[in-house]
Structure 1
Amino acid sequence: MNAHLEQLSPRPLWRHFRTLCNTPRPSGHEAALVATLERWADGLGLAHDRDAFGNLRIRKPAAPGYEQAPGVILQGHLDMVAQANADHPHDFTRDPIDTRVVDGWLHARHTTLGADNGLGVAAALAILEDGALIHGPLEALFTLEEESSMGGALNLAEGWLEGRVLLNLDSEDRGQVYIGCAGGADVIVDAQLPTAPLEAGEVALSLSLTGLSGGHSGIDIHKGRGNANRLLVRVLRALEPHGARLVDYHGGTLRNALPREAFATLALPEDARSHAEARVAALEAELRAELAGVDEGLSLDLRPCEAPSAPSAEPLTAHASHLLVRALHVAPCGVERMSVALPGVVETSNNLGVVSLSAGRFHLCALVRSLRDSATADIADRFRALFELIGARTRVENAYPGWTPNPASPLLARFRRLHAERLGQDPEVKVIHAGLECGILGGKYPQLDMISFGPLIRGAHSPDERVELSSVEEFWTLLRVLVEDLATVKEEDLATLGAEDADRSCGAPSS
C-alpha cells in the first residue's frame, strides 16, 4: 500500500515513511514497528539495542577518518496520534494509513497522517543508510509512547546514550528551529456519582456537538478553535433550567488533541422538550457566530433516543448532574497566560481533552502545559480544589519538565549559519508550547547540546494532518548538511563548536 510515496523526493526518506504508514503504530502498539526496524538494521549490519522500557537505539560507526567527531543522536518517536473522522471506521492497531497527494501536500484519507513524528523517524533511517554521507558516530534514538504519556523519554535509560549532540526531528514549521519547549502534566479526575431512575414524564434525548477542526493541544491552543467538551458543557448548562439530567457523556479521545466531537444522553421532562430543542437551535447559531472565521463547521443536534432501561444506565440525580455540569463549566480550559519574557508565546494552558460519564462513573483527563512548573502545579491544584466539591478524586500523572532555552548554544549557531548559506535566510529561533522530549532527555543527559527542527506539518493530532512536500526536501537537505558539518568538528573542540558564529545566537529567541 502507498506505493506512490516512493516516487516522491527525497526517495530514501519517503520509502521509509511508506513503511511507517503501512505498519500500525498508535501509542502503546509500537512493537511491530520496532521489530521491523530491527530486521532492517540487521540487514545493513547496524548495531541495535533497547533499554528496559523498549526504546530502540540503532548505531552506525563514523565514516573512515571522522572517528574523532562528536557523536550525533538523531531522535524521534515511533508512535502516532490515532484520530479518525467519526464516520470513517479505522482500526489503528491493524489498518495502514491511506495517503494521497493534493496540491503539493500529503494527506491521509479521513485519519491522522502520522507525519508527526513519522517523517523525523524516516529521515533518521535514511541518514543511517546513506553510504555517501560524511558523518561522525551516529545514534538514532526512537522513543515509545510520546503521544500518550512521554513514557519512552521519561523512562529512558541513563548512561546509555553516547552522543554529545542531539537533533530532535519532531518540529513542524519550516524556516524555524526550536531551542525550548513547555513542560506539562496530565490531570486525572475520577468520581462515582449517584444515579436515580427515569421519572414519570421524562424522555431520553441524544445531544451531539460535531464538526470542529480539532488540532494539537499545544501548538493550536491559542488559535481560538472550539473545544467540543467546553462547548457541549456550555449547552448542558443552558439546558439545566429545563430539568435536564445527564445519563452519559463522551467527549474527546486524547488528552493532547483538541476535542472535535462530544456526545451526551439526557433525561428531560417531555413537556420541556420543545423548549430545549429551541434553545439548542439558538445556541448552535450563537456558537457558529462566535467561531466564524476560525472553526466554521460546528453542528449541534438534539433528538429523541431509546430510554435507558438497565439500572446501570440510569441518569444522575438532579443534584449530581447540576454539580458536575457546573464544575466542568468553570474548569480551566484554553490559554491561561501568555509569556512576558517571550512575546507571542503561550506560557500556560490547559486542554479538557477527554471527558466521560457512564453508569455514574465520571472520568476526566486534562493536559496542562507551561513554561513554568509552578504554574502547572497551580492548575492541577485548582482542579483538585474544584472537583473535591463534588466528591471526586484528582491525581497528577506523567509530569515532564520543560526545555530551558539556550540562545548561546554552539549547535544552534552552526545550524543558523548553514540555514543561511543553503536557504538564503536566517531561521527563526523559537520556543514551542508543546511537549518536545528534549526537556526530559536533557534532564537525563545534561551534557547534550540540542536543537529541534522539521518539515512543515499542519493539522497535527487531527484527520486534517498534512505535510508540505517541498518542505520535506528542504528539511532533508538541512539535516544532511548539518550531519556532514558536525563531522568536521573534533570531540575535544565541542565546547567551542560554532564559536565563530556565536554572535548570531546570543539574542532572545524570536516568537
Structure 2
Amino acid sequence: MTQIKDIQPKEVWQVFGQMLQIPRPSNHEEKIQKWAVNFGKSLGLETSIDDSGNVIIRKPATPGMEDRKGVILQGHLDMVPQKNNDKTHDFDNDPIEAFVEDDWVTANGTTLGADNGIGVSSALAVLASDKVKHGPLEVLLTATEETGMDGANGLKAGVLNGEILINTDSEDEGELYVGCAGGVDANILFNYTEEETPYGVVGLKLNVTGMKGGHSGIDIPRQRGNAIKVFFRILNAAYEELGVRLARIDGGSLRNAIPREAFGVVVVDEARTADFVARAYEIAQIIKTELAETEPDLKVEIAETELPVSLIDEKTQQNMTKAVLALPNGVIRMSDTMIGLVETSSNLALLKSDDQNKTIKAACLVRSSVDTAKEDVASRIKAVFELAGAEVSFSGSYPGWKPNMESPILKTMQDVYNRRFGKIPEIKAIHAGLECGILGGKYPEWDMISFGPTIRFPHSPDEKVNIETVQKFWDFLVATLENIPKK
C-alpha cells in the first residue's frame, strides 16, 4: 500500500489508497458512505447523504472564481465484487490487495475497484486541495450504480445547483464521452419438479472455468465466450447422445458481467461415464479452437462427486437447454452512425438452480443506444424463454444519453486538452450504462460530459488502471476546472 500511495499524482492515489481499505461491494456500501461523509466534514464542507445513499459535498468557489458556472463532479461509490475461484476474499470485510505491475495498478485475484474509485478519488482530491482553482463545486457520489443505478434513480430533482455535470466513470484516457447506452434487465424463472436419481448412474461435477469475463457493455465487442453458453453446449450434446441428466447449475455471478465460470452436477449411466468425459472434452476442445484468440485459458473439468438425491425434471432440462442455446447473446448490432460502437447487445449473465425452492433463475442485461432496439431484443428474450415454459419479467430499465455535439463543456474540454497535450481528444459514445442518462432526465438543463483514465478489464479480476493516464486525467481535470466558462 505504501507503493500505491507514493504514485503520482499523490493527491489522487492517497485517496484511492484509503478507498482500497474500505469494503464497498454493491448493496453493501454503508462503510464507504460513512467514510465519504466523514471526508467531506473533516474538510469543513457542507456534506449530506440522501435517502438513496448518495453523498453530496459542496465547496465554495476559490477567490476570484465566484462568477463561473457551477460544476458537479460525479462518480459512484460501489464496486463490482469479482474474484478468481481459487482466491479467498470477503468483499464485505477484506481490503483490496492492490499492487503495481509494470505501468499498471491491479489487484491480487480480485477486482480492483478503479471503476469508479479513481474517478471518486479525483473528485475528493479536488475538495481536499487548496491549489486547484474552481468555481462553485458540488461532488455527487452515487450509490449502487453497478447493480441498478439505484442512487441515480433515487436522486431528487432540485437538490443540486450546478449547471455542468462532469462524470468520471469513463475508461479510456484521451477520449470524451457524450453519449451512452440504455439498458434493461430480463429476469427469467423456471419452476421444476424433482425426479428421483435412478440406479446405476454416477454423479459428476462439470466445471467451466478460466474464461476472461469482463464488463458486459465495454467488453462485449471483444467477442469473449460465455461460460453458461459453453456449459449448455456441452450438456446439450451429452444429453442427446448419452442421456446425461442435470441435477444442479450455478453459472455467472453478476448481472453486468460476462460469465467467466459455470459449475454443475450431472449424472450419467455408469457404463457410459468414459464416453461422456471423452465427448465433453472433445466439445471443449472445439470451443477452445473457436475462441483461441479470446479465451486461451478456457478449461473444462470433470470430476466424480457425491451422487445427487434428485434431478431437475427432464422436460425442464430440455427446455432450458434449448432456450439457452437459442438465446441472442453478445453483439446484436453495430452503430450505423459511430464507427466501431456497439449499438445493441445482450448478455446472459446468470443461471442458477435453487434446490430448496425448486426454481432456476436466469438474468440477462440488454443494452442499446436505441430504445426501440433495446425493447426488441428484450421481446426476443421473452419469446425464447416463454416458449421454454419460463416466466419472464423486466426491471431496472434506464434511458440512454443522447449526444449533444454542440455542448459548451465539450468545446471547453476539447480546447483545454489541445492546449495542454497538443491534440484534440476523440469524441465518443460508450456501450455501457453511464448514470448521465438517468441524471439528465432529472436535470434536463445540465450540460454533461464523461471522461476518465485508462482502465482495462473492469468487472473482472484482471481489472487494472494505467498509472500514466491517471496523471493525465488529473491534470486535465484540474485544467478544466480552471477554465470553466462564466455564468
TM-score computed with the length of structure 2 as normaliser: 0.98
Name the aligned partner's letter for residue 116 of structure 2. N
Cα deviation 1:35-85 (Å, max 9, x = unaligned): 112222122110011222121100001112222211100000000000000
Provide the residue aligned with 1:338 in structure 2: 334
Separation in structure 2 between the aligned mates of residue 247 and residue 95 of structure 1, nearest angstrom: 33
1:420 paired residue number: 418
Q: 1:397 aligns with which of 395, 410, 417?
A: 395
C-alpha separation in 2, matches of 1:72 and 1:428: 22
Is 359-368 or 137-146 further displaced after alignment? Answer: 359-368
SS at match of 1:380: helix
Alignment of 1:440-479 (within 5 A): 440-479=438-477
Read off the aligned partner of 2:465 and give its amino acid letter: V
2:104: which partner in 1? 105
2:284 pairs with 1:288: no
User: Aligned partners of 1:306 and 1:37: how far apart in 2?
Assistant: 48
Q: Secondary structure of 2:220's partner? A: coil
Q: Distance in 2 between matches of 1:317 and 1:295?
A: 33
**C-alpha distance in 1 between matches for 2:437 and 2:390:** 32
Q: 1:391 Cα shift?
A: 2.6
Cα distance in 2 for partners of 1:317, 1:30 equals: 40
Q: Distance in 2 between matches of 1:267 and 1:158?
A: 56
Q: 2:179–2:428: 8 Å Cα contact kept in structure 1?
A: yes
Task: Give 1:303 shift.
Answer: 2.1
Extract unaligned runs of 5+ from structure 1: 492-511
1:189 aligns with 2:188: yes
**Which residue identity is paired with 2:424?**
D
Q: Secondary structure at the match of 2:57?
A: strand
Residue 59 of structure 2 is aligned to residue 65 of structure 1: no
The one-letter code sitting in structure 1 at the alignment partner of 2:460 is S
| Structure 2 match to 1:135 | 134
Task: Show CA shifts across 1:162-181 (max 9, x none).
Answer: 10001100000011110000
Q: 1:247–1:358: 8 Å Cα contact kept in structure 2?
A: no
Superposition misfits of 4+ residues, deviation over 4 angstroms: none
Aligned match of 1:411: 409
- Measure how far apart 1:325 and its partner are: 0.7
Matched, 1:228 2:263: no
Deviation at 1:383, TM superposition (A): 2.0
Q: CA–CA distance in 1 between the matches of 2:375 and 2:119?
A: 32
* Letter aligned with residue 404 of structure 2: N
Q: CA deviation at 1:319?
A: 2.0
Listed as ranges, the matches of 1:310-325 within 5 Å are 314-325=310-321
TM-fit CA distance, 1:317: 2.0
Alpha-carbon distance in 1 for matches of 2:172, 2:77: 20
Q: Displacement, 1:327?
A: 1.0
1:374 offset after TM fit, Å?
Answer: 1.2
1:303-344 deviation digits (Å, cap 9, x = unpaired): 2210123xxxx2112222111111111112111111112221
2:145 matched residue in structure 1: 146
Give 2:370's match in structure 1, choosing from 349, 369, 372.
372
Q: What's 2:81 paired with?
A: 82
> 2:325 is matched with which residue: 325, 329, 335?
329
Superposition deviation, residue 3 in structure 1: 2.6
Moved more, 141-150 or 293-302: 293-302
Contact 1:52 1:157 in 2 (8 A): no
Indicate the percent of aligned positions where both proteins have the same amino acid. Answer: 44
Question: Is 2:176–2:428's contact at 8 Å kept on the other side of the alignment?
Answer: yes
Residue-pair matches, total: 484
Q: Does the Cα contact within 8 Å between 1:216 and 1:459 map onto a contact in 2?
A: yes
1:106 aligned partner, one-letter code: V
Counterpart of 1:297?
A: 297
Q: Which letter does structure 1 place at the counterpart of 2:89? A: H
What is aligned with 2:381? 383
Match of 2:347 in 1: 351
Using the TM superposition, give the Cα deviation of residue 468 of structure 1 relative to its aligned residue in structure 2, in angstroms. Answer: 0.7
Structure 2: gaps (5+ residues): none
TM (norm. structure 1) is 0.93
Quote the RMSD (CA, aligned, Å). Answer: 1.0
Is the CA contact (8 Å cut-off) linking 2:133 and 2:481 kept in structure 1?
Answer: yes
